[in-house]
Structure 1
Amino acid sequence: MQEHKGILLESGTNELEIVEFEVGNSKFGINVIKVKEIIQPIAITYIPHAHPHVEGIIQLRGEVLPVVDMFKALGLPPHTQNAQEKFIVAEFNKQTVVFHVGNVTQIHRFSWEQIEKPSDMYQGGNSQIIGVIKHLGEMILLLDFEKIMVDINPESGINVEAVKKLGKRERSEKKIVIAEDSPLLRKLLSDTLSEAGYVNLEFFENGKLAYDYLESIATENDDIEKHVQFVITDIEMPQMDGHHLTKKIKSHPVLSKLPIVIFSSLITDDLRHKGDQVGALDQISKPEIAELILKIDRHIL
């Protein structure tokens, strides 16, 4: 896995690579970018009164890491030990965590256009599924790992208290367009940005919808900055990811003037160059909401 991660996809191609794994009888996917390594299970130290989804902790190369039981996290029947079980060591949102899964099968490359948004009918309001991939007659479900971790530790998510520490804020009518696929994150961003005084917000659940909206404005108005002052985008989104969205905006004769900040759990030293290549003004790691707000302040007030 470490060697494979060295082959980074070209910036802005709207592609991703996923590690396919199994929990129970279902197949799930995690972005390769999030995966540090995959290891055989090792001894877990039980932690009294830990969250029910946390099996305990392990020590890996001197680092103490929590182990999340994905069977419990996904509401599936308890697993029985088998030789195929794996630990997926993942890093995102400036944290490292181990996911205990039934098996890891293979790595796939897909276009974000192949990934369908889950239907509201079956995903419910508390869904952990952000995308569905049809592959060889089966379905691979992309999981919202950020939500799984926020459910376990709410303090690891975007916190409105961080905004209150910035002091008294003036109300701003400047228009901000936000592309974010997670309903939880859209709600948290709405709450925190509104608390910061930014109330003129337009949310889209993927990059394609955001781009279509911006392009429709640009078609009728040469001066886009009179109508939209700032764009915020996640990276991982069905249909069109944040890198591809940024690349298209920066390649557009009218939209290219817009400042774009990538706000994602995937901001690492290894990946920062991808956002730079597509023209992002800045890249900020979730959940650093105060840093995001200060960046907006500097560019649109």
Structure 2
Amino acid sequence: MQISPQESDQLLRGIVIPPRPSIMLALLEAQQCNDPEPTKIADIICQDVGLSAAMLKTVNSPFFGLPQRVSSVPHAVVLLGVDNAVQLASNLALRNTLSYQGNYHVERFWDMAALDAQVTAFLATQLNLSIREQAYTFGLFQNCGIPLLLARFKHYRDTLDLAYASRNKAFTTVEMERHGTQHAAIGYLVARCWYLPDTIAQGILTHHDATLFSEPSNEISDEVRTLVALAKLAEQIAHGFLNLPRDQEWPRIGRAVLDHLHLMNDEFEDLGDAIQQMLEQQGQE
């Protein structure tokens, strides 16, 4: 599934996708060297104080499950491994690129996106799926079109409230009716512009597609569906615990999501209990 250049131009009217941050390019270049040194990767990350702080906060989350608390970026790189450290730092750098200081709604959005990413990755680990890093990236960026739309449209916050409350219309349909564009398509274009993996881009584009599980397409890989399923499950659990708006799509697709992940209802409840315990622990720190 792709978006044509003509569709892209129409969807992006007045919306500018920021370029990839330079620190991400430096990290990728260092990673591509034969046997990249952890100290070099750590030195690049440490050049950005905000990125360093965000990385330490993330890896010390209970959801990351590291055997010991991390006190420095070099320590984090050693524990995570170079590839995982580069991916995490790149994700956080891209997140910062789409943050707008002083915009309360955007800052709150990224706080929730970070939690969704952690829970999505935790679920991948609990289900013995070898896509933990991809799950984290997808959980963080699945809704990355939203901050761009918040910055572009004065009343987009109202649109979000309407979309979350709608029981008869798809989330993206509400957006299209009010603004002529929608966050899943914008997020897909962001992912393509930033050279994120195709599975991440396709997941972003299709995560509100009601037919994703009921009418599987050969154009969409099983990994894409798994990433979307993990993120849907993470959102359902985390948002319920925090008394945030629930995904109105869950009553229609919840059973299909659980079936795709081969989960029975009692297993779903056990996962929910484990995540809620971690959320409580995180809130106490």
**Is the shorter-chain TM-score for this pair beyond 0.5, marking a shared fold?**
no
- Higher share of residues assigned helix: 2
Greater strand content: 1
Q: State the TM-score bracket (shorter-chain normalisation).
A: under 0.3
TM-score by length of 1: 0.27
- TM-score w.r.t. the length of structure 2 is 0.28
Larger Rg: 1
